[in-house]
Amino acid sequence: MQSLILDRRALLRLAGAAALSAQTPMALAQPAQLTGGARKRVVILGAGMAGLAAGLDLVQAGHEVIILEGQMRPGGRVYTLRAPFSDGLHAEAGAGRIPSTHHLTLSYVERYKLTLDPFLPQSGAGVFLWRGARQVTPFGGAPDVAKLNVDFSSADRAVGFDGLAHKYFGDLLAQIQRLPQDAWPLPALAPLGQISMADYLRAKDATPDVIAALCTGFEGDSALDFVHDAVSHAAPMLWKIRGGNDLLPHAMADELNGVIHYGARVTRIAQDDRGVSITYAGAAGSHTVRADRAICTLPYTVLRDIEVAPPWSPAKGYAIRNLYMGPVARVYVQTDTRFWEADGRNGFATVDQPMEIWSPTLKEPGRRGILMSYIYEDLAADYSHQSEDEQVRRSLALFEQIHPGLRDRVEGATTWSWLNHPWSKGAYTVIRPQDYKTVLPHVATVEGRVHFAGEHTSPWMGWIQGALHSGLRAAREAGGG
């Protein structure tokens, strides 16, 4: 889920009221049934959203399921931080927003009767910080380009920050919106899969500042991947789950009571013509489970270090070794009050760096506040190599520029790095131009009795919806034939 520096209003404008031509393929969301009465034993590697969706589907169809999860909790990259915050406040380490167009994700939210709140402010002013110049932009307003030191052509000055997305890739986005949502990787648009977003924009005479405004951090992403991803960002509404997004995987895991083994780190995947053998290390030593089929939801960054016998096919092995996951780091600062709200600021900000600034406590009960920097790509790698103190110092300096006076209100801070997280070693899949033809076609393919799920194998890479969709798809593959 590549993030976009440009203001969300720009994407909304660009999305217009366009209804998506094709709805999420909800057929998969219909309950599975045993085909031909063949009850199978299926072992699922990982209890993230993909593993949980696959497990629920297979159990419902009457199969025997074992889920091996290395951590002591479900949810993987849907993870809500509750500590070290005070007063029951929380902030997301991973997935933050659920687009209103992600009907499959929303069907699970509905299934567990969770409540949704708007992710973005519905009022209040944002802060725009660009090359040291700060502007407070009223809700629904745009930064004044004339007062900013930007290298924009006169035509780009005329459309302003909010008009850039529409000008530079509005047509392509509309074209993708008209295609079925699960048509990824969109073979009809393959040439755009093989050029970078920066090259795509340069070919349209975008200046470096325009490129920075549109895709800073993601300049090297495949243009097709970037704009395809923007379709989800351009949903009419973005939601979050009241109480924390991890309530969803926890509800799913509760339903799978007895099926999930926590603290089970998979170390070896072996198969022969009769079944699969999965070896895992637990607190009490090493164990091997035997099953008819396996569904592997492990991120490829992790899978590439796991022993496998026999080896993957050459194309699959290449995909597993080379699929790229972008780094993400986050820095959270708790303040004694949400002092920025006193003069109508909502806490969110747009800056000229590869990061977003969120205010996770917006509309939460209580007086204390949390501000969060969501840092991606090279800058995130840079943060991830620093000590927590250095990261906090760096983000505090930026927050102080955004909300002057913040230093005096800080009570505590914490950090999170997905690059350093041993269970994913990265945040989410980003398709680079060189991977479109060599890696992408082999990410979801079956290897003998091992099926593959996870956001990376889906048409919604980097989204909860992709993980859920892939889990259902793999469950039907493994439980079916």
Residues that bind ligand FAD (CB under 6 A): 1, 45-51, 68-71, 76-78, 94-98, 264-266, 297-299, 302, 328, 418, 423-424, 427-428, 454-455, 462-467
Q: Of 129 and 443, which CB lies nearer to ligand FAD in the complex structure?
A: 443
Smallest distance, ligand FAD to C-beta of residue 342, A: 29
Q: Are β-strands 293-296 and 345-351 bridged in parallel, bridged antiparallel, or unpaired?
A: unpaired
Smallest distance, ligand FAD to C-beta of residue 480, A: 21
Smallest distance, ligand FAD to C-beta of residue 224, A: 19
Smallest distance, ligand FAD to C-beta of residue 24, A: 13
DSSP string, 86-105: STT--EESS---EETT-HHH
Q: Of 7 and 455, which CB lies nearer to ligand FAD in the complex structure?
A: 455
Q: Are β-strands 265-271 and 307-309 bridged in parallel, bridged antiparallel, or unpaired?
A: parallel
Q: Of 78 and 159, which CB lies nearer to ligand FAD in the complex structure?
A: 78
Q: Of 157 and 265, which CB lies nearer to ligand FAD in the complex structure?
A: 265
Q: Of 395 and 424, which CB lies nearer to ligand FAD in the complex structure?
A: 424
Smallest distance, ligand FAD to C-beta of residue 311, A: 18
Report d(CA 471, CA 455) in Å as an integer: 9
User: Taking the alpha carbons of 250, 236, 92, 67 in that order, is the dihedral positive or negative?
Assistant: positive
Given a contact cutoff of 8 angstroms between Cβ atoms, the answer to whether 429 and 323 are in contact is yes
Q: Shortest CA distance to 478 belongs to which of 312, 292, 320?
A: 292
Q: Shortest CA distance to 453 belongs to which of 41, 35, 45?
A: 45
Task: Specify the amino acid at residue 141.
Answer: G
Smallest distance, ligand FAD to C-beta of residue 347, A: 17
Q: Shortest CA distance to 455 belongs to which of 479, 474, 437?
A: 474
DSSP string, 352-371: SSSEEEE-TTTT-SSS-EEE
Q: Of 62 and 282, which CB lies nearer to ligand FAD in the complex structure?
A: 282
Q: Of 177 and 465, which CB lies nearer to ligand FAD in the complex structure?
A: 465
Q: Of 222 and 297, which CB lies nearer to ligand FAD in the complex structure?
A: 297
Task: Specify the amino acid at residue 228.
Answer: H
Smallest distance, ligand FAD to C-beta of residue 299, A: 5
Report d(CA 369, CA 339) in Å as an integer: 8
The rounded Cα 261 to chain-centroid distance in angstroms is: 25
Burial (CB < 10 A; 0-12, 13-18, 19+), residue 193, is buried
CA 400 to each of CA 3, 333, 349, 368: distance values in angstroms, whole numbers, following the listed order: 23, 11, 12, 17
Q: Of 349 and 430, which CB lies nearer to ligand FAD in the complex structure?
A: 430
Smallest distance, ligand FAD to C-beta of residue 400, A: 24
Smallest distance, ligand FAD to C-beta of residue 326, A: 9
Give, as one character, the DSSP assignment of residue 179. Answer: S
Given a contact cutoff of 8 angstroms between Cβ atoms, the answer to whether 223 and 16 are in contact is no
Q: What is the dihedral of CA 142, 143, 144, 148, to 10 degrees?
A: -160
Q: Of 128 and 423, which CB lies nearer to ligand FAD in the complex structure?
A: 423
The structure tokens listed for 169 are 């890739």
Smallest distance, ligand FAD to C-beta of residue 149, A: 31
